[in-house]
Amino acid sequence: MAVRLYEWDKNEVGGTAIEVTANKVINLLLRSEDNLLKLDDNELYCDLQLEDWIATTDTLPVWVTTGRVLAADWWVATWTMLCFKTTSWDYVEWIYGDDWKLYVDNGTWTFKQVYLKSEVDALFVQLRSEISAVGFSWEYSDLLHKPTLWTAAACDTWTSEWEIPVVQANGKLPSSVIPVADPQQVFTVTTANDLTTLSNATQWDYGIVTDESKTYILSSDPYSTLSNWIELPSPTWQVSSVNWKTGSVTLTTTDISEWDTSHQYVTSGEKNTWNAKLWTNDVATVALTWNYNDLSNAPTLTWNVFVTQAWYDSLPSSKLTDWMSYFIFNN
């Protein structure tokens, strides 16, 4: 639309989205957020379609735009893209790809596949066909290879690990499963070889061998195998304990009690005390030496002794101070 203005004409004013400046310049008023209007060969136009070869890092216009995107530009698929964006930059993007699938980016910068109802129904049909009937019915009859109930054939039986034992013809479980419950018996024989003749002996019975004074136990059947009879460490003919002590026993006087405590054995300290009383501490020296000189207040005596020269020579040196007079004579 062309507008002619004259210098002397001062009455023109702007209108809706139109501005007339003092210099008679007419401007079209646009918001700064609006980037949908474009100029081409001096023509202003509005185009809602995105430009070709747009990439994920490119700035998209606000409002609703559409265009074709390529997987080569790092989009999740190639084909039609629809973008909803507000002026506050909230956005939602949809892509309908050439793989016939629908994808959405709900403001997370990541596209997720959207399944149609027909696709979900088809997945449920496929899943149901892959799950056995018992997965839906909970019926025992829908199981394959099920055992016949209430029979031994329904269980792993016999006596190995994780198996169920079967009662034998005698109404008992095998002894390898539960130890024999019969009471233990005690037999007496003369020699160890006689143990193999105890036909009534069963596992855990005892055999006393008199010529050895030893006791044996039947560790396992049969009784006729001598190696099955194991010697017990006790009881034997040997002393098993002394004063309630076992092993290498050492007794002291305190281990032997008497009915009258006044007659108990003395201790080492008491013995030393008595030894001291019977020795030099309480007895005069003369009692031990028999020496006259050890007497107290002994009178001074002079003794005359007649000896031969040989006898005198044999006397100790104390002969010079023992207050005795020696007379030597020749025989």
28 and 44 Cβ atoms separated by less than 8 Å: yes
CA–CA gap between residue 312 and residue 246 (Å, rounded): 70
pLDDT, tens only, 233-243: 866 666 667 77
Which of 207, 210, 204, 209 has the alpha carbon at shortest distance from 186? 207
User: Which pLDDT does position 112 carry in this prediction?
Assistant: 94
Q: How confident is the model at residue 1 (pLDDT cuts 50, 70, 90)?
A: very low
Per-residue CA distances from 211 to 189, 192, 232, 238, 240 (Å): 9, 9, 15, 14, 19
Reported as a single tens digit per residue, the pLDDT across 46-71 is 766 667 788 888 776 667 888 899 99
Residue 85, phi then psi, degrees to nearest 5 = -140, 140
Distance separating alpha carbons of residues 226 and 141, to the nearest angstrom: 57
Mean pLDDT for all residues in the chain: 78
* Percent above pLDDT 70 for the chain: 76
pLDDT at position 95 over 60: yes
Among 49-53, 214-218, 287-291, name the one with the lowest average pLDDT. 49-53
Query: What per-residue confidence (pLDDT) applies to 181?
Result: 54
Please return the burial class of 68, using the count of CB atoms within 10 Å of its CB with bins 0-12, 13-18 and 19+: middle
| Residue 247 pLDDT exceeds 90 | no
- In the chain, % helix, strand, coil (3-state, to 5) comes to 20, 20, 55
Nearest Cα neighbor of 51 from 35, 68, 34 is 68
Beta strand 79-85 with 63-69 is antiparallel
DSSP 97-153: ETTS-EEEE-SSS--EEE--HHHHHHHHHHHHHHS-THHHH--GGG-SSPPPTTSGG
User: Would you place residue 6 in the very low, low, confident or very high pLDDT band (cuts 50, 70, 90)?
Assistant: low
- Rounded CA gap, 112 and 229, in Å? 80
Task: Return the minimum-mean-pLDDT range out of 100-114, 156-170, 214-228, 244-258.
Answer: 244-258
Give the model's pLDDT for residue 51. 72
Residue 282, pLDDT above cutoff 60: yes
Starting at the edge strand found earlier in the chain, the sheet holding 229-231 runs 186-189, 206-209, 214-218, 229-231
Domain residue ranges in the chain: 186-231, 283-331
User: Which pTM value belongs to this model?
Assistant: 0.30
The total of other beta-carbon atoms located within 10 Å of residue 18's CB is 13
Say if CB 113 and CB 105 are below 8 A apart.
no
Q: Output the pLDDT for position 111.
A: 94
The arithmetic mean of pLDDT across residues 247-268, rounded, is: 67
Residue 116 clears pLDDT 50, i.e. is over it: yes
- pLDDT grade for 129, boundaries at 50, 70 and 90: confident
Q: Which helix (H) or strand (E) holds 273?
A: helix 268-277
Give yes or no for residue 3 having a pLDDT over 60. Answer: no
Highest mean pLDDT among 63-77, 168-182, 250-264: 63-77
The per-residue DSSP string of 10-35 comes to ------TTEEE-TTS-EEE---TT--
Q: How far is residue 35's CA from residue 32's CA, in Å, rounded to a whole number?
A: 8
